[in-house]
Every structure is written in C-alpha cells, then in structure tokens.
Amino acid sequence: MTDPVIEAERLTRRLPGEITVTLVSDASLAVYEGEFVAITGASGSGKSSLLYLLGLLDRPTSGHIRLHGRETSTLDEDALAELRLEQLGFVFQFHFLLPEFSALENVMLPMQRLDRLRQTEIEARARELLASLDLAGEGNKLPRQLSGGQSQRVAIARALANDPLLILADEPTGNLDSNASANVQNILAELAHRHGRAVIVVTHDRDFAAAADRVIEMSDARIVRGA
C-alpha cells in the first residue's frame, strides 16, 4: 500500500474558556491517493472541526497531522499557508467565491498567488478547468450571475487550480438542489477515482455518503466508525 496523503494521529482539539469545549477527541485516520472518504455524523459531532484540522486551518490541541509524511504541527502559519496553497483544495457549503471577481478570476486566484505559471498559462488553465466542469461560457460572469450549482462548480474549479492531491469539502451539496447535488457528488467522486486525488467530504447526505469509498462516522467529537 502507498503512503497516505494525509495521516492524523490522536487528534484532539479543545476550545479553552470557562467551560472547555472539546471539538475533536483522540481522532486518528489516514486517507490515501484515489480514495473518496465521507465524514458523517450528527450536527455538533465534530465533523467540520476535524476537516478544518485536516485542512491545516486550525491547530490541534494535541496529536499530529502528517501531509505526505511531513509533520505539520511544528510549522509556522506562513508554512501552513504555503502547504494549503500547494497541496490542499477546499470546497465549502456556500461557494464563498469572491463577489467582485468573475468566475474565471476566482479560479485564477490560487494560481496567481502560487506564481509558478505565466499569466496567459494561468488564464488558459482556469478556462480549461471551467470547461471541464461544464462552465465554459460562464467565465466572465460574476458569482451573483451564476446559479448555486454553477457557483459550487466554480468553487471546485478554484479548489483544483493548483492541482492539489487532497480535496477537502465541507457540506458541498448542503445548499444545492438534488440535480446540482448529484452533479457535484459525481465530480468529487471522479476526482478521486479517475484523477487519483484524495477527497474528504463532510456530509449529512446519506446518498452522498453511500457513494463514498469509506465512511467515517463521528459522534460526540470522536470517530466511532470507519477510521
């Protein structure tokens, strides 16, 4: 078996305060290339908090996260940002596209920040990504001119911009109708199965979870099944 793309070991995240709140407790898991993993559980069970930890957006109170075998707990904020830029792609429940930028510009942003391609190459790749998600004619539209499903597909294109090995999606279909939801589900599954990316999706949707290769179930901040 190949090395995991991401590996979490005994992750715990507590919010300090008068009453300490435990968001994630003692969670361990590993996700491999080409694997499509769904994290499910009741509201407040810690699914999103675990995703944010895996996405290096939050730091664990204890435990370790290794991305391609590299320990991340010792890295500073800038190094974590660099890892997010190069190796991770996020899709959220709400598309969270920047409203002043067109669909094309939104997709170009991560590549411009990475600054490894020329401007013309960045634009060509962004157009290619949009076309691959059936958005070829929508590049110049602002987010408010797109439907929910189109916006979410633009958000997926943006997540794929820097060709990350790990895609993290937090309720990506939570705000979509059933058709758009099925479409997004297929795209994410395809990214894992056809393009070899590791995909972790937090979802409430039972059908969505059923389509995943593996389902990790959380309850009361703990992984109770599927790790």
Partner 1 sequence: MIGLAPSIALKHLLARRRQSLVSLSGIVLGCAFFLAVSSLMQGSENDFIRRLVDNSPHITIQDEFRNPHLQPAEQLYPAAAVEIRQVKPLTETRGIRGYPQIMAGLQTMPGLRAAPVLAGQALASFAGKDIAVTLNGMTPAAVADVTTIRNYMIAGSIDELVANPDGIILGDGLARKLSLSLGENVTITAPAGQVHTFKILGLFHTGRANYDETQIFADLKRVQALLRRLNRANSIILKLDDPWRAQAASGEIERRVGYKSLSWQEANEDLMSTLKTRNIIMYTVVSAVLIVAAFGIYNVISTVVLEKQRDIAILKSMGFRAGDIRRIFVIQGVLLGLAGSALGLPFGAGLMYGLMQIRLKFPGSTDLVALPIDWSWLQFAIAAAFAIGAALCAAWLPARKAASVQPVDILRGAQ
| Binding residues with partner 1: total (CB under 8 A) | 34
Any contact of residue 58 with partner 1 (CB under 8 A)?
yes
Q: Quick one: the chain helix, strand, coil %, rounded to 5? A: 35, 25, 35
Which residue of 75, 85, 131, 227 would you call a contact of partner 1, by CB under 8 A? 85
State residue 196 phi and psi, 5-degree precision. 75, 20
Binding track over 102-141 against partner 1, x by CB under 8 A: -------xx-xxx----x----------------------
| Three-class SS state of 212 | coil
Give whichever of 34 and 123 is closer to partner 1, judged by the CB atom. 123
Q: Which residues, in sequence order, are CB contacts of 181 under 8 Å at separation 6+?
A: 173, 205, 208
Comparing CA positions, the residue from 145, 216, 144, 205 lying closest to residue 176 is 205
Any contact of residue 55 with partner 1 (CB under 8 A)?
yes
Residues that bind partner 1 (CB under 8 A): 48-49, 52, 55, 57-58, 77-78, 81-86, 88, 90, 92-94, 96, 98-101, 109-110, 112-114, 119, 158, 162, 170-171
